[in-house]
Amino acid sequence: MAAERKRLGAFYTPERLSQILTDWAIRSASDLILEPSFGGCGFLTAARRRLELLGADAPKKQIYGCDIDGGAFEFLAEALGRPIDHSRFLHKDFLETSALEDWPLLFDATIGNPPYIPYQSIQEKTRKDLIQRANIRGVKLGGKSSLWAHFLFHAVSFVAFGGRMAWVLPGSFLQADYAVNIRKYIARSFSDVVCVLMHQRFFKTEGTEEETVVLLAKGRGDYSSESAITFHDALDLVGLERIIFGWESGETVGQKLVGRPSLLSVDKKIARIYGELEKDNACIHLGDLVKVNIGLVTGANNFFVINEATKRAAHLDRNDVLPVLSKFKFAQGLSFSQYDYDLLIKEGERGFLISTAKMPDEGTGLFNYLQQFSEEEREKVSTFKKREVWHAPGDERFPDGFFPVMNHHGPRLVLNSLGLNCTNTIHRVYFREHMPDEQKKLVAISLLTSFSQISAEFVGRRYGSGVLKHEPREAEKIALFLPQVISREMIEDYYLEIDTLLRQGKHDEASAKADEVVFSSLTNGAYKANVLALALCKVRELRKTNRHRLGG
């Protein structure tokens, strides 16, 4: 049952959350309600209670729904009783329904929690049809839009003039690139919209760490310009209720979203200090100095990236392989050296890359190893078709440094003192112009300051497990503070000290040292660094997996 629900992207909303949103969405005893994917019927039960409280004579007849899962109708029978009215409750994919056709009316409110199915799990034809449908309505969703986005877009057409929407959405509503156009569409379709990022993890028991976003929209209409969506964050349901009450009472709630959701977690004082530093002449962006690219795409890391034991078993010699950094966790300091690489190999980790432009002679260890990857299996790997030689994943574009794709403590720039390559689990960094070694080291140090680390939170993407991810262009947007008055000797001393702290796992102490040297010449630099450090701790705490405890 749980596996089937996960396949369908069905994560049932907690009862109290369903009731809070339903109580807001339903305003009168005569309201008609639609739940487009009713699943466990939490919203339907909440709607019945709300209508009964408002004095509706036959509340069950005012509630409509749709679900593709036959099991959901067993919940429906328990929630609203038998017999089930199949003219109101359709055993059908909501995305295949049409407003004013499947139900001959529009609704005063749509409420719900759409299926969280990634684009990879949507059949290609279905995905293209959904994208085309959105394009016709002037909404460009792109090929990577998840199913929830199409549900939300489609649900708007079922809301009557002046009606409301209350939805529980994944964190990608605030983070995904395709979500920008969905938000704009919602802003054009309603007079007033508020979006609340919840720090309480509601679906942890369902096997997902997905962030939860509450979307509330009222005043359905077709507006010539976008209303201003305001964004807020709440630790728990008490905080959510407080925000809703203030909003309905006419208070100014939240702020505009500029950048990533992490901005919602900092107060005005923090934003002001950060803004002042960002405008300083010593502030630049990482992309002004470096180009960030993805690492080597082998198409089959387990085959092309091997450890010493596999190398020996295959009778490969030193000339058959190239050194490679396979995981960022092996680069523990500010540089990756021969010592680091030797330790990686000694501990049995994967550090050898198989890459040869020519098929080796028959009978050699390398020839026999390559033969293990059958032609039939090679045909299934799309990456191989993009290379002239399927067994030559190396490109000899050795980077100046490494940058993590994902991280928990915050990103680092690790200088590549050994001159090896890395896999695509790591980004490759290339300095745009020739730069003295001490300046490269200063860049690596500056990236660890509280200022740059909080900038990284602002431009990165947060994922369910609490990880922070940066695509190459996002990494290049990270702000850096690079004062010109720091001496070469000071850079060298701090570089060695910070490198040692990182290798000892003392990330906060390393960041404090970076703050100390980078902001030493700035007026009130120590104070500003301290304020940003405290704000950074809060932002990270809210990002990481234990933050569900904050909401109980």
pLDDT tier, 2 (very low <50, low <70, confident <90, very high otherwise): very low
| H-type alpha helices, 162-306 | 172-175, 179-189, 237-248, 268-279, 286-289, 301-304
pLDDT at 262 over 80: no
Residue 140, pLDDT score: 85
pLDDT tens by residue, 519-542: 987 888 889 999 999 989 888 887
Average confidence (pLDDT) over 9-23: 79
Provide mean pLDDT across the span 343-357: 96
Contacts of 251 (CB under 8 A, 6+ apart): none
Is pLDDT at 4 greater than 60 in this prediction?
no
Is beta strand 479-481 parallel, antiparallel or unpaired with respect to 283-285? antiparallel
Mean pLDDT of 11-24: 85
Give the 3-state DSSP-derived string for 399-421, with helices as H, strands as E and coil as C: CCEEEECEECCCCCCEEECCCCE
Q: What is the pLDDT of residues 106-159, one digit of tens each?
A: 999 999 998 877 777 777 888 888 888 888 888 888 777 888 888 998 999 999
- The mean per-residue pLDDT over the stretch 487-514 comes to 96
Quick: pLDDT tens for 276-335. Answer: 899 999 999 999 999 999 999 999 999 999 999 999 999 999 999 999 999 999 999 999
8 A C-beta contact, residue 479 and residue 278: yes
CB contact burial 166-185 (16+ within 10 A = b; e otherwise): bbbbbbbbbbbebbebbbeb
Paired tokens of 397 = 């574009």
State the chain's mean pLDDT as an integer.
89
Stretch (H or E) spanning 473: helix 472-475
Residues 6+ apart with CB under 8 A from 505: none
Q: Which residues of the chain form CATH 3.40.50.150?
A: 2-257
Work out the number of other CB atoms within 10 angstroms of the CB of residue 202: 22
Answer whether the bond into residue 83 is a cis peptide, omega within 30°.
Answer: yes
Strands 107-112 and 33-35: parallel
Which residues sit opposite 91 in a β-bridge? 67
Q: Which residues of 279-293 are buried (b: 16+ CB within 10 A; e: fewer)?
A: eeebbbbbbebbebe
Q: How far apart are CA 539 and CA 458, in angstroms?
A: 9
CATH of domain 2-257: 3.40.50.150
Exposure class string for 450-482: b at 16+ Cβ within 10 A, else e: bbbbbbbbbbbbbbeebbbbbbbebbbbbbbbb
Distances (CA, A) of 260 to 418, 460, 544: 35, 7, 15
Give me 331's structure tokens.
């680069």
pLDDT higher than threshold 50 for residue 207? no
Tokens of 217: 């929209």
* Spatial CB neighbours of 436, under 8 Å, sequence gap ≥ 6: none
